[in-house]
Amino acid sequence: MSDSYDVDLLVLGAGAAGLTAAGTGANFGAQTMLVERARLGGDCTWIGCVPSKTLLHAADLRANAQAYLDRFGGGGEAPAVDFAAVMGDLHATRQEVYDDADDPAIYEGFGVEVVKGEGRFTGPHAVRIDLEGGGTRDVTFRLAVICTGGRAAPPPIPGLDETPYLTNETLFEITEQPEHLVIIGAGSIGCEMGQAFRRLGSRVTVIDRSDHLLGKDDPDHAAILQGVLEDEGVEFVLGADVDRVETPTGGGGVVVHVTQGGESRAVEGDRLLVATGRQPNVEGVGLEAAGISYTKKGITVDDRCRTNLDHVWAAGDCTGEYALTHMSDHMAKQAVTNAVLKVPAAIDRDGITWTTFTSPEVAQVGKTEAELEEAGTSFVTYRFPYSKVDRAVTEHAEQGHIKIHATKWLGTILGASVVGARAGELISIYGVSMKAGVSVREIADTIFPYPTYGLGARRAADQYYIQKQYPLAIKAVKKVFGYSGATPPAPDPDRVV
């Protein structure tokens, strides 16, 4: 059957999803073509994860230098920031990641044919590629995975089109450090970049219509992060509607007019970052010509990433389901496993993890407390503070907290939230446990090295046993064996040992 087509597997787009799909397809033995109109690597490498975390690292280094001076150096100010050097390091780092993981030669070594150009469907089994160097190429395919990604979607704010502003697509190309960066959006991007630029010395104001940060995360943990950011000097204007933006008379800078608590106010700065919303790249792909169903929210797929066509799948941001690099990777693996191997493989929606890489980090896996309550699910929550994690104490990083939501008797994990140093690493422990069906009790019975942050994940799980210490049972043990020690109090969810 494959002889009837030019290639077995066509992958459209070479971001996180596309690279995974193409590499996996080729390794499964499918003749694979990867089509990309820009640079391989997509948002994550060039305008997302890699540059943002590199900038955060530079900001962390300066914050750590200041912390050292405050604690051991007799005060003083950390060295001034050489913003050009910071951005130079950022550009060099993302190039290093590209060279090591995204270079076309790597995928060609797997047997993938990499084609630079813009591809669009001309039929259910055909695409036309407008080649980078000019001309076109028509290709037929047996199977296809669409991985065209997404892009920033600024909201329809009056005056925004006439006002210079940044998104994640342009932020990492600026050459001068903002004196006052105004950010619209208190999600992950807004919080991460807000802290980064504040630590680098900029004044930062974050505006959001919600009354708290990180709307999808545990609100208690988001509040801890907000307190830390405010202590560092980040200003928040929350519960505020943005009425309009404008450039001041005479040019230069930006003014954001908001309504907060029924009162109008203006926030002035010299640069504006819009960090709200994303939209899928579905235009110009020829979905109509192929008969592929989609909406403004993205390409419609089922739990196996299949579109309405039996031979076409879609993965990543173009589906509008998740805006997470690791979920794009996961979806691509599931899509190609279904497409090439014909092995049923569904998206693991229950085990989705995410992390906001501020200091402290905020991480989540599975259901939040609010989602479990809304669904009427019976559960208990085990809590543990970082102030009892010895590694955190030695590093003066006690601002943190762990929550595990689990079934009462079996201890099956339904979700977990962590705020604190290395929360993204700790949440992975709970993610693996949920995937493998490991209970809270089994985590508590596992040996973790001391002193580590990971031990905090186990100490939180220890609370499962603490909550099972019923006085009547202990009294029975004392009577049977003749023990004379004190009887512990009745289980109390606020008691942490």
**Residues 300-357: tens digit of each pLDDT:** 999 999 999 999 999 999 999 988 999 999 999 999 999 999 999 999 999 999 999 9
Average pLDDT over residues 98-117: 97
Helical (H) or strand (E) element with 94: helix 83-97
Q: Where are the alpha helices (DSSP H) in 233-314?
A: 287-290
User: Is there a contact between 460 and 381 (Cβ–Cβ < 8 Å)?
Assistant: no
From-to residues of CATH 3.50.50.60 in the chain: 2-40+103-152+279-341, 160-276
pLDDT in tens, 366-384: 999 999 999 999 999 999 9
Cβ neighbours of residue 53 closer than 8 Å, sequence gap 6 or more? 357
Domain 353-466, classified CATH 3.40.50.1820, yes or no: no
Spell out the CATH class of 160-276. Answer: alpha beta
pLDDT given at position 360 = 98
pLDDT in tens, 239-275: 999 999 999 877 789 999 999 999 999 999 999 999 9
Rounded Cα–Cα distance for residues 32 and 37 (Å): 17
Percent of the chain with pLDDT over 70: 99
Cβ neighbours of residue 489 closer than 8 Å, sequence gap 6 or more? 471, 495
Rounded Cα–Cα distance for residues 395 and 390 (Å): 9
pLDDT given at position 1 = 42
Rounded Cα–Cα distance for residues 360 and 400 (Å): 7
pLDDT given at position 74 = 79
Provide the sign of the torsion angle of the four alpha carbons 388, 391, 393, 398, taken in this order: negative
**Which two structure tokens, joined as six digits, stand for 29?**
């033995």
pLDDT in tens, 472-487: 888 999 999 999 998 8
pLDDT given at position 3 = 64
Average pLDDT over residues 210-220: 95
Angle between helices 49-72 and 83-97 (to 10 degrees): 130
> Three-state SS for 255?
strand
Position 279: which residue type?
Q
Domain 2-40+103-152+279-341, classified CATH 3.50.50.60, yes or no: yes
pLDDT given at position 113 = 98
Average pLDDT over residues 140-167: 96
Category of 446 on φ-ψ map: left (φ > 0), alpha (ψ -120 to 50) or beta: beta
Bridge-based pairing state of the strands 240-246 and 235-238: unpaired
Average pLDDT over residues 78-92: 96
User: Is there a contact between 6 and 306 (Cβ–Cβ < 8 Å)?
Assistant: no
* DSSP-assigned letter for residue 383: E
- Of residues 398 and 491, more confidently modeled: 398
Rounded Cα–Cα distance for residues 451 and 395 (Å): 11
**Which two structure tokens, joined as six digits, stand for 471?**
């006085």
Q: Which of 448, 444, 428 is nearest to 436 (CA)?
A: 428
> Three-state SS for 152?
strand
User: Is there a contact between 328 and 395 (Cβ–Cβ < 8 Å)?
Assistant: no
- The chain-wide mean pLDDT, for the chain, equals 95
From-to residues of CATH 3.30.390.30 in the chain: 353-466
pTM of the model: 0.94
